[in-house]
């Protein structure tokens, strides 16, 4: 099922001295149940495109449709709260919340009572392959792989059908990288989400159902 549709999307940064066209006329349609990889040189506009899809900003030109609704007419905070989750290279967990509290956060934000949120959070943590002793630990005490798995558990807990990941394995060793990719694949294939992964690691890209390439702001499908 198509969920996210880019239509002629452009975005430029206005700085004092110049205008940088970071994304140029990108068009593509993402469907649920699939994992996509977006590759490209550093500075080619991948993160910018991702932040547009996350609703953190609106395109300068063109449209992004979520389930057929134009993003510009959506409540984008609500969209991030209910539809789309983002994970990052630097994990970005709340460092003063335990692993479990981090996963409970989006659940409680959606109004799920504490007890139920706690139960569900444990479920997601388990699904992300984390041992129980991790639940009560704070992120700075965990390894990078563990942190990223907590981040994925938090994204799953958010309950949306879109997962956006910006270099999720950039800070991880090969072994952890594999585990994370497996999780993301499962998230797409088993939970029926649209998983969009930015990576410049060809091994990660190779695991995706479709591979897109970003070059100087231009998006093309290569496989």
Partner 1 sequence: MFYIRMVLRNIRRHKYKSFFNMMVCIAILGFLNIYTGNLVHTQEQLETISRTIPIKAVITNAAGDAESGLFIHDKRVQSVLHSSNIANAVFTLQSVGYINDSQVSLMAANTYRAFPGMEANNFFSSELNECLVTQSFLDNHHLKVGDEITVEQYYYELLDYIYQNLLPLDTITYTISGVVDEHVDLSAGDSLAPDILLPLNTVRNIYTQNNLTFFADSGSFTAANPLALNQLKEEMHEAGFMEVNSNADLSLDGNSLIIQDSTFIQTAGNLLKGHTVMQNCFPVILLLPILSGFVSSYLITNSRQEEFAIMRSLGIRKSNCIMTFLLENGILLLLSCIPGALPGILLFRIGINTLLLNAALFLFCYLAGTFAALIILSKISIVEVLTKAD
Ligand X SMILES: Nc1ncnc2c1ncn2[C@@H]1O[C@H](COP(=O)(O)OP(=O)(O)O)[C@@H](O)[C@H]1O
Chain contacts with ligand X (rule: CB under 6 A): 13, 15, 20, 22, 40, 42-48
Least separation in angstroms between residue 195's CB and ligand X is 18
All residues at 6 or more sequence positions from 170 whose CB lies less than 8 Å from its CB, including other chains: 89, 199, 201
**DSSP-assigned letter for residue 96:** T
Is the Cβ of residue 33 or residue 100 nearer to partner 1 in the bound state?
100
- Selected from 2, 19, 27, 56, the binder of partner 1 by CB under 8 A is 56
Least separation in angstroms between residue 84's CB and ligand X is 17
Cα–Cα distance for residue pair 217/48, rounded to 1 Å: 9
How far does the chain reach from its first CA to its final CA, in angstroms? 19
Is the Cβ of residue 15 or residue 174 nearer to ligand X in the bound state?
15
All residues at 6 or more sequence positions from 154 whose CB lies less than 8 Å from its CB, including other chains: 85, 93, 102, 103, 105, 106, 124
Which residues, 36 to 55, sit near partner 1 by CB under 8 A?
Answer: 47-48, 51, 54
Least separation in angstroms between residue 17's CB and Mg ion is 22
Strand pairing category for 218-221 and 210-215: antiparallel
Cα–Cα distance for residue pair 176/211, rounded to 1 Å: 22
Strand pairing category for 194-198 and 162-166: parallel
Residue 44 interaction partner, one of partner 1, Mg ion, ligand X, none, beta carbon < 5-8 Å per kind: ligand X
Which residues, 92 to 151, sit near partner 1 by CB under 8 A?
Answer: 92-97, 105-106, 108-109, 111
Is the Cβ of residue 159 or residue 170 nearer to ligand X in the bound state?
170
Cα–Cα distance for residue pair 24/220, rounded to 1 Å: 11
Binding site for Mg ion (CB under 5 A): 47
Side by side, which strands form the sheet with 61-66? 19-31, 2-14, 61-66, 69-70
Least separation in angstroms between residue 216's CB and partner 1 is 18
Which residues, 60 to 79, sit near partner 1 by CB under 8 A?
Answer: 77-79
Residues at the site binding partner 1, with contacts judged by CB under 8 A? 47-48, 51, 54, 56-57, 77-82, 85-86, 88-90, 92-97, 105-106, 108-109, 111, 158, 166-167, 170-171
């Amino acid at each position: 099922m198509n969920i996210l549709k880019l239509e002629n999307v452009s975005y430029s940064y206005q700085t004092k001295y110049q205008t940088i066209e970071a994304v140029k006329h990108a068009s593509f349609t993402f469907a649920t149940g699939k994992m996509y990889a977006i590759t490209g040189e550093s500075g080619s506009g991948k993160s910018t495109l991702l932040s547009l899809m996350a609703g953190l900003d609106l395109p300068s030109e063109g449209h992004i449709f979520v389930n057929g609704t134009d993003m510009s007419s959506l409540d984008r905070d609500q969209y991030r709260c209910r539809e789309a989750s983002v994970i990052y290279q630097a994990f970005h967990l709340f460092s003063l919340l335990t692993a479990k509290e981090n996963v409970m956060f989006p659940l409680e934000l959606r109004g799920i009572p504490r007890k139920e949120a706690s139960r569900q959070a444990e479920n997601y943590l388990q699904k992300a392959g984390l041992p129980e002793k991790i639940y009560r630990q704070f992120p700075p005490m965990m390894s990078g792989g563990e942190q990223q798995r907590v981040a994925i558990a938090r994204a799953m807990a958010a309950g949306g059908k879109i997962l956006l990941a910006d270099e999720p394995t950039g800070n991880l060793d090969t072994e952890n990288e594999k585990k994370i990719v497996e999780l993301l694949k499962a998230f797409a294939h088993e939970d029926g989400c649209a998983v969009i992964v930015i990576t410049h690691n060809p091994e990660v890209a190779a695991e995706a159902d479709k591979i897109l390439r970003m070059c100087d702001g231009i998006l093309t499908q290569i496989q």
